[in-house]
Amino acid sequence: MSALDNKAPGMIDPQAAAAANANPPVFDAAFQARFAELLAWRRDVRRFRRDDVDPALIEHLLDLAQLAPSVGNSQPWRWVSVDSAATRDKVRANFLRCNEIAAGAYQGERAALYARLKLEGIDVAPRQFALFCDRTTAQGLGVGRQTMPEALDYSVVAMIETFWLAARTHGLGVGWVSILDPQAITTELDVPAGWKFIAYLCVGWPVEQHVDPELVRHHWQDRTSAGRDVLSR
């Protein structure tokens, strides 16, 4: 039995865990190379095919996402599947309003380039999810967030990356739409008052696959080493 044979999503059987702890896996050089390849090919997808995604695959990915780290084991992420055409139309309208405002921040050639960028896939992606952080959760009993309550939000983001990478191993693409009004999304989806909007994800089969990011390919911003610098104190 594997420690990943869960009783429920995110739960690990104690006996299986004990057996696994006695014989942990070895992630050899071949696995490490494939993992690096997975990271390189994880893309923010905006162009999706309309083909349906098997619900069983989505359920499997949601189960894997429950293994993500969270402060105090709080697991504060809350999923809302956005399925109806009417609700998606509201999200799309939200994006268009926000995108028009964002476009106004640019001038000249940069404004023209921004107008040509593909920044979301709301009109096509077969599965769409709004991700919230339940800031009222008692789970975790406050461990690790007394001085940094925003660690709950960070936990949701860590889970999203776990889901994103797991989806990519199955050939699924994920796109994170950030040009949205969080308060409007929260109102439109009618979620509990204690939930904070974190992300809107489009999920589906990508039309094309690229190792280079969309914004690099369309000359918006190259990758740099800015985030690689490590200060010594």
pLDDT digits (tens, 9 = 90+) for 117-153: 888 889 999 999 999 999 999 988 988 888 999 999 9
What is the distance between the alpha carbons of residues 153 and 157, in angstroms, rounded to a whole number?
7
Put the strands of the sheet holding 173-177 in their side by side order. Answer: 77-81, 127-134, 195-204, 173-177
Phi/psi of residue 68, nearest 5 degrees: -65, 155
Domain-wise residue ranges, the chain: 44-220
| Residue 129 parent element (H or E) | strand 127-134
Taking the C-alpha atoms of residue 73 and residue 77, their distance in angstroms, rounded to an integer, is 11
Residue 135 buriedness (CB in 10 A; 0-12 / 13-18 / 19+): middle
* Residue 181 or 222, more confident: 181
- For the domain spanning 44-220, the CATH number is 3.40.109.10
In percent, how much of the chain has pLDDT > 70? 95
pTM of the model: 0.90
Whether 90 has a pLDDT exceeding 60, the answer reads yes
Q: Would the pLDDT of 223 be above 90?
A: no
